């Protein structure tokens, strides 16, 4: 792959020391223009695309529109979802533009191919199953209460649920993001999917009388001796808490693990299930959509209304009086 470094008028070694520093700093700045998760996804997609091109004797950079059409058909034949193919095309576009090439994704040939793919495969999202309050309660019953890992897992599930947090938000939390008070925790989310520039979003985590998320979080931090840095960390053999931060994949694995342990079919459960579960439970409880959005921080009310509509499908049903 062609280097994505910026082009300068003179060789870097000919620049004065202060300009070299600025040049190197600009590379870091431009890398920050995309979220780390996006860059990881793009890297994986590009490895797939480049391997396919190499196996079939096509250049990957620049790639011809005809090459991309064949790649799309190969992805469709492999059973890929439309969203997966679209992400791979976005990565190909990113690679070409960074290298100073015209992206083949802008070709009418590729645009028509994708329109046909969307019509044939369909674009309905694969909805994740909601871990509602009742299901979370069942999961909690399977968590050992007397181990460090158990305390961490309880705190993670409950804070993720109570805050309607995305999995990246859960693992990105630091102790400094918690302000514990008499009514609960004031939680600052420094960066999120809808706040890529880090303006920060603040929500409340009540103490609660049933699930008691605040108690679970403070119990974990105290038992683990964590006073600063990442809240959720790996727990090694022998109960040793590591300095590293849990990965967002760990959240999905934990949700699936305890869903299975509580007797649920794990298909459809993911890290997003905690967020979906909070929204669904609130909707079932008749909470106003505005209050739900205050906690979930959704920008588009239509997304929240989708949860509300699903939770109320049988409420005031038009056929209830005669079916």
Active site residue 193: yes
Active site residue 309: no
- Single out the residue of 19, 37, 128, 110 nearest to residue 73, CA to CA: 110
Active site residue 197: no
Active site residue 298: yes
Integer Cα distance of 153 and 199 in angstroms: 29
Catalytic residue among 80, 154, 233, 275: 275
Structure tokens at 235: 């727990």
- Report how many helices (DSSP H) and strands (DSSP E) the chain contains, helices first: 13, 3
Question: β-strand 201-206 against 184-189: which pairing, if any?
Answer: antiparallel
Catalytic residue among 31, 193, 249, 299: 193
Number of neighbouring beta carbons within 10 Å of residue 83 = 12
Q: What are the DSSP E strand ranges found in the chain?
A: 178-181, 184-189, 201-206
Catalytic residue among 50, 151, 167, 298: 298
**Residue 124 host element (H or E):** none
Catalytic residue among 152, 272, 278, 297: 272
Active site residue 166: yes
Number of neighbouring beta carbons within 10 Å of residue 307 = 24
Integer Cα distance of 143 and 76 in angstroms: 41
Integer Cα distance of 73 and 13 in angstroms: 46
Under 8 Å between Cβ of 241 and 137: no
Catalytic residue among 42, 258, 278, 307: 307
Catalytic residue among 166, 167, 233, 297: 166
- Cα end-to-end span (Å), the chain: 63
34: left (phi over 0), alpha (psi -120 to 50) or beta: beta
Structure tokens at 319: 């056929």
Active site residues: 166, 193, 272, 275, 298, 307
């Amino acid at each position: 792959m062609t280097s994505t470094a910026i082009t300068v008028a003179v060789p870097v070694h000919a620049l004065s020391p202060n300009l070299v520093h600025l040049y190197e700093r600009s590379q870091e700045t431009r890398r920050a223009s995309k979220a780390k998760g996006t860059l990881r996804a793009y890297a994986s997609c590009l490895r797939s695309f480049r391997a396919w091109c190499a196996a079939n004797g096509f250049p990957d950079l620049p790639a011809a529109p005809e090459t991309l059409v064949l790649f799309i058909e190969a992805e469709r034949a492999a059973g890929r979802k439309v969203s997966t193919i679209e992400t791979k095309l976005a990565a190909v576009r990113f690679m070409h533009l960074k290298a100073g090439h015209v992206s083949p994704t802008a070709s009418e040939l590729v645009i028509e191919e994708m329109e046909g793919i969307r019509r044939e495969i369909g674009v309905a999202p694969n909805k994740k199953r909601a871990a509602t309050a009742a299901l979370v309660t069942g999961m909690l019953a399977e968590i050992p209460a007397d181990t460090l890992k158990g305390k961490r897992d309880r705190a993670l599930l409950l804070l993720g649920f109570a805050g309607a947090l995305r999995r990246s938000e859960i693992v990105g939390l630091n102790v400094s993001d918690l302000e514990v008070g008499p009514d609960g925790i004031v939680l600052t989310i420094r960066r999120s999917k809808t706040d890529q520039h880090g303006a920060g979003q603040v929500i409340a985590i009540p103490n609660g009388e049933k699930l008691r998320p605040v108690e679970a979080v403070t119990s974990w931090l105290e038992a683990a001796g964590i006073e600063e840095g990442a809240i959720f960390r790996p727990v090694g053999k022998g109960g040793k808490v590591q300095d590293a931060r849990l990965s967002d994949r760990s959240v999905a694995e934990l949700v699936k693990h305890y869903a299975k342990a509580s007797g649920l079919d794990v298909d459809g459960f993911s890290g997003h299930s905690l967020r979906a579960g909070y929204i669904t439970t609130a909707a079932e409880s008749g909470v106003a959509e505005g209050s739900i959005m205050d906690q979930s921080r959704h920008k588009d009310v239509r997304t929240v209304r989708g949860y509300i509509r699903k939770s109320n499908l049988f409420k005031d049903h038009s056929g209830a009086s005669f079916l």
